[in-house]
Amino acid sequence: MKKIKKIFLSDIRNFFEKYHSLNVRHLKIIIVSFMLLIIGIVIFLGWITYKRIVDTVINDFNEQQLILARHAASQIENTVNFLKREVTLLRLSPTIQYQENPGFLNRLNNTFISVKDLGVYELLFIDYKRKKTHRINEDTGYTQCNINEHEQELLNFARDVKRRDWILIEKASPNENLTKRVIMELLTPVWQISIDEAHPIPTGQFSGLIVFKIDIPSLIYKITEKIHSGKTGYAWVIDNEGIFLYHPEESFIGHNAFEIRKLKEPGISFEKIEKIQKEMILKGDEGKGWYISGWHRDLKGEIKKLIAYAPINIDSFKNKMQWHVAVVAPVSEIKGSISSIQMQHILLQAIIVFLILAGGWFFIFTLVKWSKVIEKSEEKYRSLVENADDIIFMTDNKYRLVSINKKGLEILNKEINQLINEPVCDIFPPEGEILMMNIQHVFKEKEPMELTHKLSINGKDYWFNTKLRELRDEKGEIYAVLGISRDITERKKMEQQSYHLEILASLGTLGACVAHEINNPMAVILGFTDMLLEKTPKDSETYEILKIIEKQAINAKNSVENLLSFVRRREHKEELVDINECLDRVLKIVQNTALLKMIEIKREFQENLPPVKGDAGELQQVFFNIINNALYEMKNGGMLKVATKYDKYWVEIFISDTGPGILKQYRNRIFEPFFTTKEEGKGTGLGLWISYNIIDKHDGIITFKTKTKEESEETGTTFLIKLPAYER
């Protein structure tokens, strides 16, 4: 609290010099650093987000690919199962078993038609009895010929009764003209086990062998053609030996995947895919990953690809066959779509960052501009406050001083440390309490106040006019009261003097009226007394009483005459008067009195004092009045000091006594007519009034300084008379 108060106003300069400008500089650095930090964080977060998005999307994408692979695998399995079902249906048909024409051929044809779209390019029925092969295919339609050696071998293999229910799936060698490189044969023996009208009892004999010759790529193609992973992703299938059963690049089909890749792009290391293929795919695992390829469709070069793979299980009585489908797509394709989103994202971030930057700079710029404006304005107001000719101070709500300006320190004659935090009532004696009550009022009633109060510092009296105004914080609460005190001592003096003069003037007029009103009855009283005195014997008591009446009336008449002597404006002489001479003359008159009263007279006359234009008699009367009063007051002796001085335009006369001084309550009244502190009958109370008027008439000034025993150990009064010096 104390610290905060200290920095206000008078110390505010130091505060600003110390911290303000530095603050702005600091603020700039802080804001710029803060902005850079924010930008850094934004970029970092953006990068992390991008990474995560890429990872997530790639992962999701690959998961999709895995689903596709699984789907493809099950589709292929389903197709093979369908073919197995078809061949079973055919095997169980009596028409086929007993080769009953014409149904036999029709049945074969119908089955071929239903399976030819599933990769079956040729359907064979090898007749065991007749050693004939019935062949149906797209190119030649139906043909019949004698069985060849291979077919004989197959028959021998199939006629074993143990293999009666077998459906054998076997890989076959490429056909003669190599148009179909990867071929699979689906074989099943036909036994005469079914019944029909012609054969009510089955013979149970071996009839022959049904063979579906299947072009595997065609079978797979029917399924994989529908698979589109991303824009250009595709599927490929290998068998358990790593031979491509299907690949969109037709030249790969039938070749070992490891070899054909190297053959196509010898410069690229296929380590990764080979590892995946060897360790995962060929082991029948399902999974996903990535690898570097040398191409993708028409694209060449090192391409990172995502791969998802799943096994295809094909049941056969002889062995379990396993193929593997893989769905691949280049990462760049996914990244491409992500990066376009990411680009938008980065653009947005850039815009935001730019806006933050621009906003920040604008803020700083405005702040700096404003701080300069504020600094200037503060400088202006500070200099106004500091150089003000008024005391400017501030108090808190406990009526303690918070700040005060230079003028205040000068007048109070104190250091700032001696005043801060001190109660206002102690700082502004003797009327600090009144000031404090007014400040209290401002705090309570929330309205400005104005008061005139006295201030006494080191025995010097000032008069101040103080305006009190509330200071409010941003919430509108009064947190302090600002006081502006104007030194009105001179004005107050003038006012008092002019008020005094007015009183004197009005008393003059009043005096004249009173004189008139008194003179009339006096004339009557004195006139009749005079008349009666003549008629009264001198030794009578009546005569004596009449004499008393006459005396008192004459006293009254004299008083009025004195009073009127100035109202009447007696003729005023204008001559050059030597003040020293005048004073000497007066001192000569009073020196015997002074001697009797044990009063020492001290003369301190300045030599070559310029003359004063005026009436020597009148001026002597003034000096006499004042000196006479001084001697009267020094009842137990003392010192009368009479001094003269020449000061530029003025001849100054000092008349000092060591008497008891003039009591405070009389100080304003001593120049009033009829005012006297002397015992009754010893003074008319007109001496100083007359003196005042005489000096006034001479365009001079008469003032006094006095100290009573309450005020000082050395009591006494000094009258100062200033008369305009006559310039020769």
Partner 1 sequence: MAEKILIVDDEPDMLRLLSMILKEKTPYDVVTTNNPLEAVSLVQNENFDLVITDLKMPGLDGLQLLEQVKKKEEDIPVIIITAYGTIEAAMEAINKGGFDFITKPFRKEQIIFTIEKALKWLKLCRENRALKEKLKSGTN
Contact positions vs partner 1 (CB under 8 A): 512, 515-520, 522-528, 530-531, 553, 557, 564, 567-569
CB-count burial class (<10 Å; 0-12, 13-18, 19+) for 454:
middle
301: left (phi over 0), alpha (psi -120 to 50) or beta: left
Smaller CB separation from partner 1, 368 or 526: 526
Q: How far is the CB of 553 from partner 1 (least distance, A)?
A: 8
Provide, rounded to whole angstroms, the least separation between the CB of residue 711 and partner 1.
44
Interacting residues of 112 by C-beta distance below 8 A, sequence separation 6+: 120, 123, 136, 137
For every residue of 469-483, DSSP letters joined together read EEEE-TTS-EEEEEE
Say how many C-beta atoms besides its own lie within 10 A of residue 146's C-beta. Answer: 11
**C-alpha dist (Å) from residue 446 to 67, 227, 438:** 81, 85, 11
Nearest to 133 by CA among 115, 152, 153: 152
- Which residue, 356 or 567, is less far from partner 1 as judged by CB? 567
Nearer to partner 1, 110 or 509 (CB): 509
Q: How far is the CB of 521 from partner 1 (least distance, A)?
A: 8
Q: Which is nearer to partner 1, 530 or 604 (CB)?
A: 530
Question: What sign for the dihedral angle of Cα 469, 475, 480, 484?
Answer: negative
403 in Cβ contact with 41 (< 8 Å): no
Residue 169 or 690 with smaller CB distance to partner 1: 690
Which CB atom, from 132 or from 557, has the smaller least distance to partner 1? 557
The secondary element (H helix, E strand) that includes residue 185 is strand 183-191
Per DSSP (E only), the strands in 12-166 are: 120-127, 132-137, 141-146
SS (H, E, C) 347-410: HHHHHHHHHHHHHHHHHHHHHHHHHHHHHHHHHHHHHHHHCCCCEEEEECCCCEEEEECHHHHH
| β-strand pairing of 206-215 with 120-127 | antiparallel
Nearer to partner 1, 82 or 528 (CB): 528
| Distance between CA atoms of residues 531 and 509, nearest Å | 33
- Contact present, 216 and 184 (Cβ < 8 Å): yes
CB of 528 to partner 1, least distance (A): 6
Closest distance to partner 1 from the beta carbon of 557 (Å): 6
Q: How many CA atoms lie within 13 A of 658 on its CB side?
A: 14
Q: In the bound complex, what is the minimum distance in angstroms from residue 567's beta carbon to partner 1?
A: 7
Alpha helices of 321-330 — where are they, by DSSP H?
A: none
**What residues pair up with 701 in beta bridges, in sequence order?**
722
Q: What's at 328, amino acid-wise?
A: V
Nearest approach in angstroms of CB 526 to partner 1 is 5
The distance of closest approach from Cβ of residue 554 to partner 1 in the complex, given in angstroms and rounded to an integer, is 9
Q: CB–CB of 727/670 below 8 Å?
A: no
Nearer to partner 1, 421 or 562 (CB): 562
3-class secondary structure, 460: strand
From the CB of 530, what's the least distance to partner 1, in Å? 6
Q: Which is nearer to partner 1, 150 or 568 (CB)?
A: 568
Six token digits for residue 439: 């400040």
Least Cβ distance, residue 550 to partner 1 (angstroms) = 11
Q: In whole angstroms, how close is the CB of 699 to partner 1 at the nearest point? A: 22
Among 105, 1, 4, 7, smallest CA distance to 416 is for 7
Identity of the residue numbered 130? R
* Measured distance CA(668)–CA(664) in Å, rounded: 8
Nearer to partner 1, 292 or 514 (CB): 514
- When the beta carbons of 347 and 524 are compared against partner 1, the nearer one is 524
Query: CB of residue 531 vs partner 1: minimum separation in angstroms?
Result: 6
In the chain, what is the straight-line distance between the N-terminal and C-terminal CA atoms, in Å?
Answer: 67
Tell me the three state secondary structure of residue 282.
coil
Smallest gap from residue 519 Cβ to partner 1 (A): 3
Amino acid at 689: W
Q: Kindly tell me which of 558 and 593 has the beta carbon lying closer to partner 1.
A: 558
Name the minimum Å distance from CB 547 to partner 1. Answer: 15
**Nearest CB to partner 1, comparing residues 171 and 557:** 557
Whole-number minimum distance, CB 565 to partner 1, in Å?
A: 10
Which of residues 631 and 686 has its CB atom nearest to partner 1 in the complex? 686
Are 6 and 420 in contact by the 8 Å Cβ rule? The answer is yes
Q: Considering the complex, state which of residue 36 and residue 523 has its C-beta at the smaller distance from partner 1.
A: 523
Q: Which two tokens stand for residue 601?
A: 């007279």
